[in-house]
Every structure is written in C-alpha cells, then in structure tokens.
Amino acid sequence: MVELKNPLYQTMSLSTQTLHADHHLRETPEVSPSIGVTTTFLYKKDDVTANNYGASQRYVYSRESRPNTTQVESTLSTAMEGHAVVFGSGLTTALAVLLHFKPKKVAIGESYFGIRRVLAQYAAIAGDVKVVSAECSYEGVDLVWLESPINPTGEIKDIACYALRAHAAGAKLVVDATLAPPPLSYPFRQGADVVVHSASKYLGGHEDLLAGVVVSRGAAMAEDLRSIRCALGLGAGSLETWLLQRSLTTLSVRVTQQAQTAARLVALLESFRRCAVSTACHQPSAADLALGKRLASVRHASLQLLPCAEAQHPHGFGAVFSVSFASKTQALFVAKQLRLHAFATSLGGVHSLVDWRHGWDATSEPSLLRVSIGLESFDDLAADWRQALTALDAHECAAKL
C-alpha cells in the first residue's frame, strides 16, 4: 500500500496542505491533477501470477481505487489528522463504519435523519441491534454516534465529554463533523475515535458533488474500510473525486469566510429578536420591532456560550444556523421571501441556502428554517433578511385587519 501521508506537510497550514499534500503521488508533471476515468489498469505482465496481479501494482480496477481517489485521500488524511477513506456519499460512510465495528448497541445523539435511517437498515441486516439515546447510560453500548455541530441548528456538543463517557464504557466514539470541517474543528483532539464528513457539504463546497469521507486514527481501520468499499462498491466516481480535490484547495478560505459571515448574521438576527422582547426597558422603533417581533428563536453555537467552545472551535463555528417563527406558515413565507438565500436543501456550499427541514424530517419543528451561509457578502445577506422580515411583518399585520 502506498504511503498516503507526506509528513512534510503535517505542521503546515490548512491551505498549504490542501494545495500540496498529495504531490508525492502525482505521476505526471501536471500542476493541477487531471481527471482519470479508466475503470481498469494494465497488469505489469512480468509480475502476474495466478490470482495475483502483483504486490507492486498500485491500481487494478477502479472499484478498489484510482489515482484521483488516492490523491484526495492523501490530502484529506493530512488535513484531517488521520487516515481518510472516501465513499460515494455521507450516508455511505455511516454504513461503512457500522459494517466495520458491527455494534450490537448504538447510542446516537441528535443527528441528521438520514443517519438514523442507515442505522435502521443496518439493524435490519445485523439483527438484534439496540439503539439508545446518546444522553442516556452507555452500559453495554459499543458505539456512540455524535453529531457536532448538529444539523439543523448549528449548535455544538462537548465532544471531550462524550469521548470520556464512551471510553469509560468501552465504546468507540464516532463524530459526524460535517457541519464544521477543518479549520473549524478537529474532533480527534477532543478524543473522537473516528470522524466522518459528508463531503457533499463544505468539503465539496459548490453543490455539485456527492461524496463522504471516514477518517480513522489508525491505518488498520482505513484498510478494512477500503476492503468494505471494494466488496460492496461504495466508492465515489471519478468526476466526484476530481471535483473534491479541486474544491479542497479553497476549503480554508471558503469555510473561514462563510463562518465569519454566518456569525455576524446570527448576531444581527438575535439582536433584532432581543430588541422586540421585554420592551419595558427600551422603546424600539416601529421598524426595529417589525424586524424582530416575528423571530421566535435563533440557534447557533455562537449563542450557546459553552465552556468547550473555544478549545473545540479555534477558528469559529459553522455557517449553518436555524431560525424559528411562530408558525409553519410564517417560516415558509420567509423561506420564499428571501431572495439571495436559495430555497433548497443541503448546506456548506458557496451559495446561501434556506431549507424547511420539517419537509424532510417529521421530528424537526415545522416552524424552523435551517440557514446555510455561502460566500455572498454580509451586507447583501443582511439586507435580504431585513426585507424578508419586514415583508413578513407587513403580511401578518395585513392578515389581522
């Protein structure tokens, strides 16, 4: 097996890593990697024996691996401080992790609804699998699945605390850190055993590829994940791995900028909301009242003030937050009224998006909108929220007449 990580880049900045960390694997003098579409690779004829294409042969068939996959895994392994294996989607990573650990009792925290569906599929095959809440006792638990930050609120969990509890019970801790990729979070530093990401979100970042990545602490687990991927054909396609590699070169600047804009917008929306409550001590203008009085809540890690926040998120929180209204009708009115926030699902990309999660997940409050901030400017996005909230207030006032 080829050494994916080049130790030279281990201590360099994220941008340097994502631009250079795979260079030792490039076989041609290209500055940017080209896309390789072949499914099959020539045998080295002198090395072939029966049922053996030769230990020195790096690529044989693309279900196993291909140069674009190896390159992106090299970059991700360095950037994510572990051993990265790329899959066809974020949900596929959950299946692969379950097939690797084969847990009989899983504790799961608040998480993306699709993960719970994968767990149900796994339980249907494995049989006799118990699923409990990550907030309850870990007695008999072999695997704890934690999402932080949480989709759809953007709030965080104290990963170190769950790691202590999981390890005390002899369980492994898997952290789905899709909502806070590097440089926003590095869950191994808080004790996670495995980190997974839907690469369809920030890592891809342009709403144009579906992929996932599992990062393990050790090479042996990565080897097993690769054999699961090959056995079941769970890998990502050539276009996807190539696009992912290209997207990673801008990960640091994109994510840092998105996170900064999101934190400013969260602060602004929360200031509108606060201005409209407890008006006994102040007299907001009619315009300020119109902006804030329909906002029932704004949720994001920056508003939680958790003691673990600083250590867990050295470079800010994610660009996803949620906003709730008095009713489903009001939430949908705002989703449709926003102009720069596209009314569509997904998150983490360069386009700002707003999604009504209840449409996907019945356990999500019907009055909640999930917001994912892209690369539009803060001023433009703030103006978009002002016009949408003003329109909502006017609409509600007119309805009362």
Binding stretches for ligand PLP (CB under 6 A): 89-91, 112, 114-115, 147, 151, 176, 178-179, 198, 200-201, 210, 212
Residue 76 tokens, joined: 């991700």
Give, as one character, the DSSP assignment of residue 168.
H
User: Least separation, in Å, of the C-beta of 178 and ligand PLP?
Assistant: 4
Residue 118 Cβ, how far from ligand PLP at the closest point, in Å?
Answer: 9
Identify whether the C-beta of residue 146 lies closer than 8 Å to the C-beta of residue 109. yes
Q: Which of 122, 36, 123 is nearest to 72 (CA)?
A: 36
- In whole angstroms, give the CA distance from residue 32 to residue 17: 14
- Which of residues 304 and 346 has its CB atom nearest to ligand PLP in the complex? 346
Residue closer to ligand PLP by CB (options 199, 388) is 199
Angle between the N-to-C axes of helices 90-101 and 219-232, in degrees from 0 to 180, rounded to the nearest 10: 110
Specify the DSSP element, H or E, that contains 70: helix 67-79
Nearer to ligand PLP, 258 or 337 (CB): 258
Distance in Å, CB of 201 to ligand PLP, minimum: 6
> Sign (positive/negative) of CA torsion 32, 38, 39, 41?
negative
Nearer Cβ to ligand PLP (234/338): 234
- Which stretches of 8-154 are assigned E, i.e. beta strand? 83-87, 105-108, 130-133, 143-147
CB atoms within 10 A of CB 21: 25
In contact, 6 and 78? CB cutoff 8 Å: yes
Shorter beta-carbon distance to ligand PLP: residue 210 or 255: 210
Question: Rounded CA gap, 306 and 72, in Å?
Answer: 34
CA distance 217 to 85: 12
Of all residues in the shown chain, the one whose CB is closest to ligand PLP is 90
Instruction: Name which of 187 and 212 has its Cβ closer to ligand PLP.
Output: 212
Q: Which is nearer to ligand PLP, 323 or 347 (CB)?
A: 347
Q: Are 165 and 187 in contact (CB under 8 A)?
A: no
How many Å apart are CA 338 and CA 358, to the nearest integer?
Answer: 18
Q: How far is the CB of 186 from ligand PLP (least distance, A)?
A: 17
Half-sphere exposure of 255 (CA within 13 A, CB side): 27
Between 212 and 316, whose beta carbon lies closer to ligand PLP? 212
Q: Please, which residue, 200 or 245, has the CB nearer to ligand PLP?
A: 200
Q: How far is the CB of 374 from ligand PLP (least distance, A)?
A: 15
| Cβ neighbours of residue 127 closer than 8 Å, sequence gap 6 or more | none
- Nearest-approach distance from CB 244 to ligand PLP, in angstroms: 11
Identify the sign of the CA torsion 79, 85, 88, 89: negative
